[in-house]
Structure 1
Amino acid sequence: MTGGARSRRVLLLLLLVGVAARAASGGGIDGLLPNGNFEQGPDKSQMNGTRVMSPNSIPNWVISGFVEYIGSGQKQNDMILPVPEGPYAVRLGNDATIRQQLSVTRKAYYSITFCAARTCARAERINVSVGPESGVLPVQTVYTSSGWDSYSFAFKARHTTVWLAIHNPGLEDDPACGPLIDSVAIKTLDPPRREKGNMLRNGDFEEGPFIFPDTAWGVLVPPMDEDDVSPLPGWMVMSGTKSVKYVDAAHHAVPRGARAVELVAGREAALVQEVPTTPGRWYALSFSVGDAGNGCAASEAMMTVEAYAGREAARVPYASRGSGGRTRGGLEFAAVANVTRVVFQSYNHHMKRDGTLCGPVVDDVSLVAVRKRAGRRLLL
């Protein structure tokens, strides 16, 4: 065997070992599901107008209830139904469900990202489930001028094959009324551990749900119960119906790294992480506050992030011009329990000129134990 052939064989072997190791770890699943953008549609013989009549007529999906196959620019009365990517999407009318079976790695964590838009129902919401994991995503609030938002949902795989279901539980007088769905993707999550120098997990927000590279509006992380699997590992969103937005450096100004969180709902949503602490011991929390460079300018009031930990609180203001930038803030606190909640929320509501909600960005969050109080706390 020649030296060149031997080198190519060794290289091929190393590549195969790397692929096998990645597959064994549950990685490698990132991007659109098969026919996740619904570009492969039903035959006309399987449709009644726009309604899809056969359960298996949309390739790779199983449907039930009132499901429509919608073309971009299609009208309903005087309303145009836009499609965010490609020429087609589906609409989930009364009690409608779309399902797809996924091959996953048992005990691995995954996030689902999909685009959704309201149409004509009064109180639209979407139920997402994978096996026993399920959640209700409210879609009443629209966060983009286009009307389309990206939503995220996470689960831990109980088996090697699972069913993803997206369901509209609504029952309207017009059975077609319901949300439009497009671009369904999956990502393997690698939940980060606490590392030396930071007691928080995922304090830089680098691990999170899939962000579509051709969309500039980020991904909403919806409110969740405390026992839910979070699409933003380490963090929970506490709210009734509002979300926070996960943004990327490709389309936004990010204080550090490639990802950050935009607090788009004022005091109506809080970003929370619980961390083990020792009662009576002092800790220092520090973080960056900025704007996403998306035109969210604080014209009348400063963008302000409120932070809470133990019995202490701080307000960190930032004079935003909507073009990016950051400041550093923090607080010190004495723990009063074995577990302390670190909480962030926007002090005010903010809107861009097009009327869509926006807010301050939080990033690069660090928590460390300190020997004594240093007196650098930012007071309310």
Structure 2
Amino acid sequence: MAGSFTRMKWVSIFVLLHLPHLAFTTLTEEDGLVPNGDFEQSPSNGFPSEAIVEQSGPTEIPNWKTNGTVELVESGQKQGALILIVPQGRHAVRLGNDAEISQDLTVEKGSIYSVTFSAARTCAQLESLNVSVPPASQTIDLQTLYNVQGWDPYAVAFNADADTMTLLFKNTGMEDDPTCGPIIDNIAIKKMFTPDRPKDNAVINGDFEEGPFMFKNTSLGVLLPTNLDEETSSLPGWTVESNRAMRYVDSDHYAVPEGKRAIELVSGKEGIISQMVETTPNKQYSLTFLLGHADDKCKQPLAVMAFAGDQAQNVHYTPNSNSTFQSSNLNFTAKAERTRIAFYSVYYNTRSDDMTSLCGPVIDDVRVWFSGSRRNGLRGLWVAILGLVWVLISSI
């Protein structure tokens, strides 16, 4: 009995020592490609050859329902002088005029799901793609290409109103050539959760660690288009207010100031990210954040405009040989119980190696806290944990 009790104590100590890690672990078993989300599964009669593509009739795509002119395209396939772009792998889907593709997914009712997908345009510059989980929908403007590869990953979020939801992609355009339309590939889904607000920070998800699904073999990040509903967001807690997108980046492919995720402001003044935080009127606060360079050959200067209530501050990134980021601060007095904080890039930046791919400053670790308070919540947590461990050890 004594031995069993001792083992239980050591198990408790192990759990306590790993508590900070366990508190931020998310279950991701269901995250990833939807069935045949990369369109690499062969139809029953094989992938169509160029000769068969010209024939009329619906295209069979395993796990997907189609309506209208839906075409399986192959990497390197040509349409006239145009080589069609397949984002990943060998195959993707092109949606012609008023065409759509859909799939029913089993989900958890009441949860928020983020859908990541890759998209490229073909014949027309003004192509767009409507992504929906009826009745909710969002139209993605494909006019702006954010990099020279000709395609971009995007993420949109939806609320699951039932145990199943229909994920639908539709080309609402009407081109002279009915086969013209956007190409989509790599469709993945992730169940979202909203992190708890830290005791010493009014900002939710200020470290940007919770966000949309990202493919490990894709170095383009994920674009977050306009989303004004803070309750249904691929970046919990945050909204994208502007016409252009933000880029969600990871530490595997970019320089991230802290943790594994951050936001790159790639759209100049047309790309605004914001959050409404809880404040106490007439109290003084500090907005702090880390500002950095993504190490993606982005041409300098880099600068952000930071807003907190009625205060604004232009902050320039100052290169430092010892670090790719710096700490920044904006003091303000709250005027209401909720205060808007926001960021955008002062400049329109591009990469120096191709002069075309859009880039910008990176922000991370955004905090709003009482001026003069000591941000020692994590240190206090560790002191409490170590104290409890010492009591347990002493009683063994």
**TM-score normalised to structure 1 length:** 0.86
Cα contact 1:111–1:153 (8 A) shared by 2: yes
Aligned to 2:273: 271
Q: 1:100 to 1:51 in 2, by over 3 A?
A: farther
Distance 1:170 1:314 in 2: 41
Looking at structure 1, the residues matched to 367 and 217 of structure 2 have their Cα atoms a distance apart, in angstroms, of 31
CA distance in 2, matches of 1:175, 1:185: 27
* 2:71 aligned with 1:68: yes
Q: Who is 2:305 aligned against?
A: 306
| Deviation for aligned residue 1:226 | 3.3
Asked whether the 8 Å contact 2:87–2:120 carries over to 1, the reply is no
After superposition, the C-alpha distances for 1:109-134 in whole angstroms (9 at most, x for unaligned) are: 11100000111123111111113221
CA displacement 1:46-86 (0-9 Å, x = unmatched): 89732686657200000111111101000111111121221
Aligned to 1:210, the other structure's residue is in SS state coil
Equivalent residue number for residue 318 of structure 1 = 317
- Aligned-pair identity (%): 46
Equivalent-residue separation in structure 1 for 2:290 and 2:126 (angstroms):
36
Please identify which structure carries the higher helix content.
2
Paired residue for 1:338?
337
| Structure with larger Rg | 2
**Alignment map for 1:74-153 (pairs within 5 Å):** 74-153=77-156
Return the alpha-carbon distance in structure 1 between the equivalents of residues 42 and 114 of structure 2: 25
Distance (Å, rounded) in 1 between the aligned partners of 2:344 and 2:251 = 21
| Residue matched to 2:392 | none
User: Which is strand-richer, 1 or 2?
Assistant: 1
Equivalence for 1:234: 237
Matched, 1:201 2:200: no
The reply to whether residue 259 of structure 1 matches residue 261 of structure 2 is yes
- 1:268-323 per-residue CA deviation (whole Å, 9 max, x = no partner) reads 0101001122221111110001111111131xxx2001100111111111145999
User: Any gaps of 5 or more consecutive residues in structure 2?
Assistant: 1-25, 374-396
Which digits, 9 at most, give the CA deviation of each residue in 1:198-231, with x for residues without a partner?
Answer: 1110000000001111110000000122366110
**CA 1:227–1:319 in 2, change beyond 3 Å: closer, same or farther?**
closer
Amino acid paired to 2:99? A
CA shift for structure 1 position 137: 1.1
Residues 44 and 53 of structure 1: CA distance in aligned 2, closer, same or farther (over 3 Å) = farther
The question of whether the paired residues in 2 share the 8 Å contact of 1:285 and 1:332 is answered with yes
Query: Deviation at 1:158?
Result: 0.8
- Provide the residue aligned with 1:35 in structure 2: 36
- Superposed displacement of residue 356, structure 1: 0.9
Q: 1:52 to 1:137 in 2, by over 3 A?
A: farther
Q: 2: distance between equivalents of 1:170 and 1:76? A: 19
Tell me the C-alpha RMSD between the 2 structures. Answer: 2.3
Please list the CA deviations of residues 311-339 of structure 1 after superposition, one character each: whole Å capped at 9, or x if unmatched.
11111111459997001101011112222
Aligned match of 1:352: 351
Matching residue's letter, 2:336 = A
Which shifted more, 217-226 or 37-46?
A: 37-46
2:189 matched residue in structure 1: 186
Alignment-derived partner of residue 15 in structure 1: none
- Residue of structure 2 equivalent to 1:9: none
SS in 2 for 1:239: coil
1:192 Cα offset (Å): 1.0
Taking structure 2 as the reference length, what is the TM-score of the superposition? 0.82
Over 3 Å counting, the alpha-carbon distance change for 1:52 and 1:163 in structure 2 is: farther
How many residue pairs match? The answer is 344
Residue 59 of structure 2 contacts residue 71 of structure 2 at CA under 8 Å; is this kept in 1? no
Is contact 1:119-1:180 (8 Å) kept? yes
Query: Structure 2 CA distance, aligned partners of 1:311 and 1:45?
Result: 58
Q: Secondary structure at the match of 2:269?
A: helix
Give distance in 2, aligned partners of 1:53 and 1:322: 60
Distance 1:112-1:52 versus aligned 2 partners, 3 A rule: farther
